[in-house]
Amino acid sequence: MKEMIALNQELAEKTGELEITVLNQWIREHHREKPLTYIIKTWGCQMNERDSEIMAGVVEECGYTRVDREEEADLIIYNTCLIRENAEMKVFGNLGQLKVLKRKNPKMRIALCGCMAQKEHIVAKLKKSYPHVDLVFGTHNIHELPALLLESYRDNRRQIHVLEDGVKTYQNLPSKRLYNFKGFVNIMFGCNNFCSYCVVPYTRGREQSRSKDEILAEVRGLAESGYQEITLLGQNVNSYGNDLESSVDFADLLEAIAVIEGIKRIRFMTSHPKDISRRLIDTMAKYPTICNQLHLPVQAGSNAILKKMNRKYTKESYIEMLNYAKASIPELTISTDLIVGFPGETEADFQETLAMVREAEYDFAFSYLYSPRAGTPAAIDPDQVPDDIKHHRFDRLMDTVNPIFLKKNQALIGRSQKVLVESVSKNDASILNGRTEGSKLIHFPGDSNLIGKIITVKVTKAQTFILFGEVE
Ligand code: SF4
């Protein structure tokens, strides 16, 4: 019995449950007059958004109440991203402004977590120039948040906890999901690929797949709570299961999820082109619950640049797989990521990217100017492309892809689409926002009681990035 108690205690400590209880008690004792409040700002990918949902659940369980403005918060958490220089600069800019708020409310706690916290030079900069930041914790330390807060309140000293790598222990933590009809489900963490421009393998560590049973249990729980749509998340979902003892792969997992009663839409992100299999595409084609949407980041259309990026596929193999997917899945919506101005990119290489986007005919694309990320091989490549050339190429890329997006959207005019209604428009309370099965944003007049439902909307008008319609 004693051993059981010790084991339970160890597990609870590992997942942060014990600290949640202790912090909750501490807050109730020390803040009787007014409940503590929090706000979380999130930059970057859906993995970060999901981490923020977990942190929101943890701090609410500790006794904090959510507010919408930093001025009203006793705890501000910045969940950061390192993928682009822009996001990093914004975080530092915003952190600087928090100094004023902290002066007004010295009991305020300011925390920085996420990928930026994983980099030594950033932590050094925070230590030196941002003394008002109280907590710094990494992507592997989320379960420690209550303990770090408690220490910070008790000692009034800055807490910095960043693990280089670690087992994700937060599966058992509470979470406060942003929506009650669509949700993210992590299926794996980390990345083994080391694309030469990317910091993720350094900030999120090596790949760790969650067990199939654990994932299925989470999805069943969401189905029972009335969720309509789930998005399976991983940096490279196609290598799901490689690190597990059982011989399950992503296609197996997807198939098992596709038959769970209640979930009407399944999406997933992100698929690495080097690992996507025909079996996965066949599985997508087989089950109507798996959305006819594929995000397949190509990054560049030149084999020389793909090699320098360490992407491990060629433009030919990419197009072959894309054509197989288009032929297998009717009405497939395809999207991609593109990087312009990667070190060594010549005009001829760039022309190959333009040829690629014309051939692929993407429905939409996330396009970026290459920005060097400290610690990655591409950042120290002497062959950097000058800024003016990068910008000029980016403009030409936009001139090429935008008409393609518009043409694809215009092809939907007059057609009926199944739409998950997500929100009311910020600018007009009579207009609703929703997503088609292919994940296209659509605006249409309607009542807010439709939010969370899947309805049929007829497309009446199309712009480059938005559809407009009428409820049928
Ligand atoms: S696959 Fe490449 S781009 Fe994606 S997270 Fe891994 S290293 Fe980064």
The count of other CB atoms within 10 Å of the CB of residue 217 is 12
Q: Which residue type sits at 211? A: S
Cα–Cα distance, 226 to 246 (Å, whole number): 30
Q: What is the mean pLDDT of residues 403-431?
A: 96
CA distance 438 to 417: 9
Higher pLDDT pick, 464 / 169? 464
206 alpha carbon – ligand 1 mean position (Å): 11
Among 48, 193, 339, which is best to mutate for testing ligand 1, by the most ligand atoms less than 8 A from CB? 193
Position in ligand 1 atom list of the atom nearest CA 235? 5
Predicted confidence (pLDDT) at residue 2 exceeds the cutoff of 50? no
Going by alpha carbons, the residue nearest to atom 4 of ligand 1 is 235
**Residue-wise pLDDT tens digits, 429-468:** 999 999 999 999 999 999 999 999 999 999 999 999 999 9
Distance 285 CA to ligand 1 centre (A): 26
Give the residue whose CA is nearest to atom 8 of ligand 1.
Answer: 198
In angstroms, what CA-CA distances link 5 with 1, 12, 264, 429? Answer: 6, 10, 41, 54
What is the C-alpha separation between 447 and 151, in angstroms, rounded?
48
Q: Which atom of ligand 1 is nearest to the CA of 299?
A: 3
Distance CA 182, CA 433 (A): 14
pLDDT recorded at residue 135: 94
**8 CB neighbour count, 10 Å cutoff:** 12
Work out the pLDDT band at 363, boundaries 50, 70, 90.
Answer: very high
| Partners of 259 in beta bridges | none
List, for residues 254-313, the tens digit of each pLDDT value: 999 999 999 999 999 999 999 999 999 999 999 999 999 999 999 999 999 999 999 999
79 vs 85: CA distance, rounded Å: 15
- Domains, the chain, in order of start with CATH, read 2-161 (3.40.50.12160), 179-291 (3.30.750.210), 319-410 (3.30.750.200), 416-471 (2.40.50.140)
Q: Residue 9 has what pLDDT?
A: 41
Q: Whose CA is nearest to atom 1 of ligand 1?
A: 193
Specify the range with the lowest mean pLDDT, choosing from 28-37, 77-86, 105-114: 28-37
Tens digits of residue pLDDT in 304-348: 999 999 999 999 999 999 999 999 999 999 999 999 999 999 999
Give the range among 28-42, 61-75, 241-255, 353-367 with minimum mean pLDDT.
28-42
- Residue in the block written with tokens 């439902």: 453
Residue 249 Cα to ligand 1 middle (Å): 19
Nearest in space to 110 (alpha carbons), one of 87, 131, 86:
131
User: Tens digits of per-residue pLDDT, 41-57?
Assistant: 999 888 899 999 999 99
The b/e string for 414-433 (b: 16+ C-beta within 10 A; e otherwise) is: eeebbbbbbebeeeeeeebb
User: Closest ligand 1 atom, CA of 270?
Assistant: 4
| Confidence at 182, pLDDT banded by 50, 70, 90 | very high
Burial code (b: 16+ CB inside 10 Å, e: under 16) for 170-191 equals bbebbbbbebebbbbbbbbbbb
| pLDDT surpassing 80 at residue 403 | yes
As a whole number of angstroms, the distance between CA 398 and CA 365 comes to 10
What proportion of the chain, given as a percentage, has pLDDT over 70? Answer: 94
**How many Cβ atoms are within 10 Å of 50's Cβ, its own excluded?**
21
**Does 14 score more than 60 pLDDT?**
no
Task: Identify the residues whose C-beta falls under 6 Å from ligand 1.
Answer: 191, 193-195, 198, 200-201, 235-236, 272
Q: How high is the pLDDT of residue 165? A: 64
Query: Which of 68-82, 110-124, 138-152 has the weakest average pLDDT?
Result: 138-152
**Residue-level pLDDT at 8:** 39
What gap in Å lies between CA 442 and CA 435, rounded to an integer? Answer: 6
Nearest CA to ligand 1 atom 2: 195
CA of 344 to the centre of ligand 1 (A): 20
Gap from CA of 195 to ligand 1 centroid (Å):
5
Cα 433 to averaged position of ligand 1 atoms, centre (Å)? 31
State in Å: Cα 297 to ligand 1 middle.
10
In terms of Cα–Cα distance, which of 138, 119, 109, 120 is closest to 51? Answer: 138
- What SS3 string covers the chain? CHHHHHHHHHHHHHHCHHHHHHHHHHHHHHCCCCCCEEEEEECCCHHHHHHHHHHHHHHHHHCCEECCCHHHCCEEEEEECCCCHHHHHHHHHHHHHHHHHHHHCCCCEEEEEEHHHHCHHHHHHHHHHCCCCCEEECCCCHHHHHHHHHHHHHHCCCEEECCCCCCCCHHHCCCCCCCCCEEEEECEECCCCCCCCCCHHHHHCCCEECCHHHHHHHHHHHHHCCCCEEEEECCCHHHCCCCCCCCCCHHHHHHHHHCCCCCCEEEEECCCCCCCCHHHHHHHHHCCCECCEEECCCECCCHHHHHHCCCCCCHHHHHHHHHHHHHHCCCCEEEEEEEECCCCCCHHHHHHHHHHHHHHCCCEEEEEECCCCCCCHHHHCCCCCCHHHHHHHHHHHHHHHHHHHHHHHHCCCCCEEEEEEEEECCCCCCEEEEEECCCCEEEEECCHHHCCCEEEEEEEEECCCCEEEEEC
Among 236, 239, 271, 366, residue to substitute to test ligand 1 (most atoms within 8 Å of Cβ): 236
**What confidence score (pLDDT) does residue 20 get?**
79
For residue 5, the model assigns a pLDDT of 35
Q: Is the pLDDT of residue 167 over 60?
A: no
pLDDT value of residue 23 = 81
Distance 198 CA to ligand 1 centre (A): 6
Which residue among 115, 194, 235, 295 has the greatest number of ligand 1 atoms within 8 angstroms of its CB, and so is best to mutate?
235
Whether residue 98 has pLDDT greater than 60 = yes
Q: Name the residue of 272, 296, 305, 338 to mutate for ligand 1: max ligand atoms within 8 A of Cβ.
A: 272
Cβ-based neighbour number of residue 73 at 10 Å? 24
What letter represents residue 234's amino acid? G
If you measure from the C-alpha of residue 331 to the centroid of ligand 1, how many angstroms do you get, rounded to a whole number? 28
Atom of ligand 1 minimally distant from the CA of 204: 5
Q: Which of 108-117, 171-180, 255-264, 404-413 bottoms out in mean pLDDT, i.e. has the lowest?
A: 171-180
pLDDT at 61 over 70: yes
Identify whether the C-beta of residue 213 lies closer than 8 Å to the C-beta of residue 253. Answer: no
What's the gap in Å between 352 CA and the centre of ligand 1? Answer: 22
Rounded to the nearest integer, the mean pLDDT of the chain is 91
Greatest distance between any 2 Cα atoms in the chain? 71
* Residue 311: predicted pLDDT: 97
The region of weakest confidence among 123-127, 172-176, 195-199, 262-266 is: 172-176
d(CA 467, ligand 1 centre) in Å: 31
DSSP lists the bridge partners of residue 334 as 294
Question: Does the pLDDT of residue 388 top 50, yes or no?
Answer: yes
